[in-house]
Every structure is written in structure tokens, then in C-alpha cells.
Amino acid sequence: MLKDTNCGELRSADSGRKVRLAGWVHRRRDHGGLIFIDLRDASGIVQLVLNPENAAAHAAAHRARIEWVLQVEGEVRNRDAATVNPNMATGEVEVVPTTVSILNEAATPPFYINEPVDVDENLRLKFRYLDLRRPEVARVIYLRHEVVRHIREFLYARGFIEVETPTLIKSTPEGARDFLVPSRMRPGSFFALPQSPQILKQLLMYGGVEKYFQIARCYRDEDTRANRVAEHTQLDLEMAFVDQEDVMALIEELYTGIAQKFGSGSLLQAPFPRIDYQDAMNRYGIDRPDLRFGLEFVDIAEPLRGSGFQVFAGALQAGGQIKAIRVLGRADMTRRDIDELTEIARSGGAKGLAYIGFTPGELRSPIAKFLSETEIASIKTLTGAEDGDMVFIVADQPAVVARALHEVRTSLGQRLGLIPEGVLAFAWVTGFPLLEWHPDEQRWDATHNPFCGFPESSREHLQPGGDPGKAASFQYDLVCNGAELGGGSIRISNRADQELVFSLMGHSPEQQADRFGVVLDALEYGAPPEGGVGAGIDRLIMTLAGTENIRDVIAFPKASSGSDPLMGSPTPVDAGQLEELGLLLKPSAPQA
Ligand code: ASP
């Protein structure tokens, strides 16, 4: 064994122990006489002290440079009180080596490993194996491992079995674009990488597996945006003979445990509050509200219906809404803050952001002069504003009010410091509609998942002559701190209902048979009532680690451009490979 002890585990109780360590030179201070080396391995860092009396060890330490690989034998001793370092886990001890062997030398790294400095993301990813040596980077990868291990153990203990589903499957439209894999055996035909194991996990339930889970990789060929990646990992889970409450209770217990064990702070509320979808839209303008702070929307339309102020009256006449956010004690907000918030509202689609500052004496408001005293008094009453408060208002179509005011609310939460550190505000959002109308394509689409079930009371809305937009669903989403951590549903469990939904979505019987025939057929052979969830692991770790960058929680992520600076992929392939696959590139595509 090249090492018998981990650097980061040494404590005062180990004083006097002879140890064999191995690791990397994290830092080195050569004072001519004494040399100090911080030796780092996966467990942490310990200080080595070399004095010139041990000439061979001292000479090796003198030669060693940052990131060289050393093996050390020596004795642990307590540091003098004056040199104890309370910022280091091993800060009470140091190791006095008897031998230092250089196992490998290292070129100068392209960036600092021993300091948490900002490094260009492409450079970090190109040298990801060096980036992973940085303790703050490694910490998140270890956290991820521990969380996944906790999930597995929790589910094993409750009778779940882990089943791998194939990653070469049939292309099925699931919302996003599929990644395609050409078949060599059947030129011209393609496999697709799964967007999620949805169909396969349902087939497992039909196959008699009652409790399944998988830490599943899912692929979506989308244009990469800030926190989107082409491949993500989700806890994919399905259970037979359950209702909505059963699945939610299980996931709530799991996530409460994770938050308590790995969260840096506290749960805002347990049990998790349940919010109705429409209620969330009304109060926060979004179906994944951040509940760590207030600033809820207030509907102030009623007293303004007949207003002489055309911006308000006109918006209402056109079927729009007028909603406000009251900000406590900030009537004196700076001009600059107001301008920035106005820009934010505009980028959310609004034409502007109206405001009334209830400053004593004259109101601070460019719109007050267009409103009657009664109208202003009503706005004050409805929003609960008092002297000294500020009220922001957006009047527009409902979707615009929701989007713009949500952005304003989020920005206010941040700029006013209303978001408490370390708090995890989980909630369930339920009561989603089953279908939503897509005007561009003139068809209904599932709000979440075409397999999502609906209550009997909604059946009438799905029949000819009904309004499918009124149908309720068995969908539930888990949200935390303004992010969607997962979602799932109780599924449809008979063929007729599944065909009904597919038909409303505009799939002809032939298309249904071609794309979903396997599910439709399987539903005829005694499918149990069943449901499950898909919950993003990357997003969960981001929340726990307090990072906004999804690349921080993945060992080998793609760059934000979607390519991989480490392996240099994607790459063109040579003509022979294309020939075997029966593929011909367009002349405009780069050739190998
Ligand atoms: N298949 C869904 C998803 O990937 C999750 C589910 O409904 O279980 O988001």
C-alpha cells in the first residue's frame, strides 16, 4: 500500500502515530531552513514540516513543486499552540516526515489549484482533471455522490428495485428534439436516446414490478441556455397501486431527509405547503414560485375598470389584468432602482412599469395625476400599502402581467436582500390543467406529459362539445426556491382514455399506433393504477450546494456552447464510418 492514512483525517488524537501518506503538493513554503508543504489527497490537506537535519527528505521537499505527487512516511505531532490553524480540519497537527519520495513530477498547471480564483470556464473544462483537484470543485462532486447514495438507500429500504432501461430506444416526440443514433445494421434507420424512461417505466409497472427507480440519464437536443445541458440525470421512479398522495408523501419524506442531512440551512416549512396551480399563477405569476419571500401580487383591476387613465382602462377592455406588488417602506427607492426594474418589466414583455410611492404629502408617481383620488385610495387599500410604501403596477394581457411582474418580484427579492441564506422553501404545486391550447399549431398539448391521468369529474370536458382546457390532471410538481425540482403524475391506465388524450393532442390513429402503439397495446392487458416522478438530480445538487451554474455539479459537463472542450467533441467522422452507416453529408457540412 502506497498510503495507509488519509491526509484530511489526522487529528490531535493521532499525535505520535507513524503514518504513510501520499498526495499532491498543494502549497509549499520554503524558508531555506524549514520547508512547509501542504499535502493534499481526496480527503483533505495536512501540513508537512521538514527541517534540514533530515537531509534526504529535506532535499526532496526542496525539489518538489506545486502538484508534484509525493509519498511521505513520518510521525504526526501536535502543533505549538501559536501555530494551530483553526481554519483547517487538520490544523491542530502536522506531520514530520522521515522519508519523502517523489512519485511523479508535474508541469505548472494552467490555473491555480490552491486558490478559489475565477478561471475562464472553457479553460477549466479543457483541464477538468486539474479543475477537479480544486477542493471547492471536488466538494460538490462528493456531495452529489453522498446525496445519490442517500436516495438509493432510502428507496432500497422501502422495497424499490433499481432497473436499468435501455438508452437506445425509439424516437418518440416528447416535447424536445431527440438525439439520434444511426443504425449500421439497418442503414437509414435510427435509434434515439431517451428524453426520459417514461414509457419503459410504465411498461415495468404493467410487467408487475411494483416499485421501480433508476438514476437515469436523459437527453434533450435543445439549444443550450444558461442552465440547460444536453444530458441530465434524474431520479426516475414509478409505483403501482398508489394515488397522488402516496407518491407525494414518499418524495416529501425523501427530500426532507436530504434537506436535513445535506442542506446548509433549514426547511422553510414542513410538511411542504401545497399550492394550487391557478393560485400560484395569480399570486406569483409562475408555477414554480420562490416562497422564501413575500411580495405577492395583488389584483387591483376592479376599481380601475372605468378609469380615465387609458393605459389601465384599455388593458382591461382588451381582456387584460392590472396587478400590483407592494414593497414595504421603499417609497424612497432610488431613481436608478426604478429604472432598472422598469427595464426588467419591459424585458418580460410589459410596455412599462407604473409605480406609486406613498410618500407623505405629495405622492411619488408619474401616473398619479391621471388617477382619481378614489382610485388611488382603492389601490392603497387593496395592496395594504401604508405611508412610506412603494407599489409597482403592470397592466397588460394576463401572460405578460405574470411574466413581467414575476421578473420584477424576483429582482426586488434580490436587490432588497429579502432572500434568506441557506433556507430551502419546498412546495408542491398541484391542480394543473391536463391540456393547454397551442394557437400556432391549432391543437391541444399535454401541459406536462401525455400519459398523465385525469379525475372522473373532468371526463365531460374531454368529450365532444366539452372544453378540454377545463380538464384537471393528476400532475404534481415539486418546487424549491423558485426552481422546479421534479414532477410526476398518476398515469392513465386504460387504452380508451389514452387514445382520447392522444386524439385531442392531434395524433391520428395511425400516428398513435406508430408512436405509442406499445403503450396502447399494453394498456389492454391489465395495467395497474400507477404513477411516479422524475426529479432532477443536477438541479437538486445545485440547490444544496448553493450554485447557480449547472456545470458545477457535473464531473464532466459540456460547455455552455454545448460542445466538450475536454474531449473536443462533437467531431466530424471519417468517410468510412459514414459509408457504413449509409450516410451522406451535405456538401455544406464540414468534412473529416
Ligand atoms: N417523465 C417525466 C419527466 O421526465 C417525469 C414523470 O412524469 O415521471 O419529466
What's the confidence (pLDDT) of residue 269? 82
Which ligand 1 atom is at minimum distance from the Cα of 451? 7
In this predicted model, what pLDDT tens digit does every residue of 216-236 receive, in sequence order? 999 998 876 666 788 999 999
Pairing of strands 274-276, 426-430: parallel
| pLDDT reading at 52 higher than 80 | yes
For range 328-348, the mean pLDDT:
96
Alpha helices in 227-333 (DSSP H): 244-262, 277-284, 310-317
Give the pLDDT band (50/70/90) at residue 176: confident
In this predicted model, what pLDDT tens digit does every residue of 443-484 receive, in sequence order? 999 999 999 999 999 999 999 999 999 999 999 999 999 999
Give the pLDDT band (50/70/90) at residue 538: very high
| pLDDT reading at 335 higher than 90 | yes
Residues 499 and 462: beta-carbon distance below 8 Å: no
Residues 6 or more apart whose Cβ sits within 8 Å of residue 103 = 2, 22, 69, 70, 71
Residues with CB under 6 A from ligand 1: 196, 198, 449, 487-489, 532-534
C-alpha of residue 232 to centroid of ligand 1, in Å: 13
Q: Give CA separation, 63 vs 27, 29, 55, 57, 257, in Å.
A: 13, 12, 12, 10, 49
Query: 3 in helix, strand or coil?
Result: coil
For range 513-530, the mean pLDDT:
96
Residues 6 or more apart whose Cβ sits within 8 Å of residue 141 = 132, 553, 555
Q: Environment class of residue 225 by beta-carbon count within 10 Å: exposed (0-12), middle (13-18) or buried (19+)?
A: exposed
Taking residue 488's Cβ as centre, other Cβ atoms within 10 Å add up to: 27
284: which 3 cell numbers?
406569483
Number of residues written out for the chain: 592
C-alpha of residue 534 to centroid of ligand 1, in Å: 4
| pLDDT reading at 252 higher than 90 | yes
C-alpha of residue 116 to centroid of ligand 1, in Å: 37
Give the pLDDT band (50/70/90) at residue 265: low
| pLDDT reading at 592 higher than 80 | no
Which ligand 1 atom is at minimum distance from the Cα of 532? 8
What percentage of residues in the chain have a pLDDT greater than 70? 98
C-alpha of residue 522 to centroid of ligand 1, in Å: 19
What angle do helix axes 244-262 and 135-156 make, rounded to 10 degrees? 140
What's the confidence (pLDDT) of residue 552? 95
What's the confidence (pLDDT) of residue 153? 98
Atom 3, ligand 1: residue with shortest CA distance: 534
For range 520-546, the mean pLDDT:
96
For range 184-197, the mean pLDDT:
94
Q: Give CA separation, 302 vs 9, 311, 354, 382, 406, in Å.
A: 66, 15, 17, 10, 21
Half-sphere exposure of 499 (CA within 13 A, CB side): 15
What's the confidence (pLDDT) of residue 266? 82
C-alpha of residue 488 to centroid of ligand 1, in Å: 5
Alpha-carbon span 300 to 317, nearest angstrom: 14
Which ligand 1 atom is at minimum distance from the Cα of 533? 8
Q: Environment class of residue 82 by beta-carbon count within 10 Å: exposed (0-12), middle (13-18) or buried (19+)?
A: exposed
In Å, how far from its chain's centre is CA 335? 34
Alpha-carbon span 442 to 335, nearest angstrom: 45
| pLDDT reading at 267 higher than 90 | no
Give the range among 170-184, 379-393, 436-450, 549-563 with minimum mean pLDDT.
Answer: 170-184
**Pocket test residue of 430, 449, 489, 540 for ligand 1, highest count of atoms within 8 A of CB:** 449
What's the confidence (pLDDT) of residue 361? 82
C-alpha of residue 480 to centroid of ligand 1, in Å: 17
Which ligand 1 atom is at minimum distance from the Cα of 237? 8
C-alpha of residue 84 to centroid of ligand 1, in Å: 52
**Pocket test residue of 198, 201, 211, 232 for ligand 1, highest count of atoms within 8 A of CB:** 198
Alpha-carbon span 282 to 393, nearest angstrom: 14
| pLDDT reading at 429 higher than 80 | yes
**Nearest-10 Cα torsion for 217, 220, 222, 225:** -30
Atom 1, ligand 1: residue with shortest CA distance: 198
CA nearest neighbour of 482 among 325, 231, 345, 284: 284
C-alpha of residue 400 to centroid of ligand 1, in Å: 28
In this predicted model, what pLDDT tens digit does every residue of 132-175 receive, in sequence order? 999 999 999 999 999 999 999 999 999 999 999 999 999 876 67
For range 251-265, the mean pLDDT:
91
Atom 2, ligand 1: residue with shortest CA distance: 534
Alpha-carbon span 82 to 57, nearest angstrom: 25
What's the confidence (pLDDT) of residue 174? 60
What's the confidence (pLDDT) of residue 466? 94
Which ligand 1 atom is at minimum distance from the Cα of 486? 9
Residue 63 belongs to what H/E stretch? Answer: helix 55-63
Residue 129 belongs to what H/E stretch? Answer: helix 128-131
Which ligand 1 atom is at minimum distance from the Cα of 534? 5
C-alpha of residue 424 to centroid of ligand 1, in Å: 23
In this predicted model, what pLDDT tens digit does every residue of 73-110 receive, in sequence order? 999 999 999 999 999 999 999 999 999 999 999 999 99
What's the confidence (pLDDT) of residue 587? 82
What's the confidence (pLDDT) of residue 268? 79
Quick one: CA dihedral 320, 380, 342, 421, positive or negative? negative
What percentage of residues in the chain have a pLDDT greater than 90? 90
Atom 9, ligand 1: residue with shortest CA distance: 534
C-alpha of residue 532 to centroid of ligand 1, in Å: 8
**Nearest-10 Cα torsion for 580, 583, 588, 592:** -20
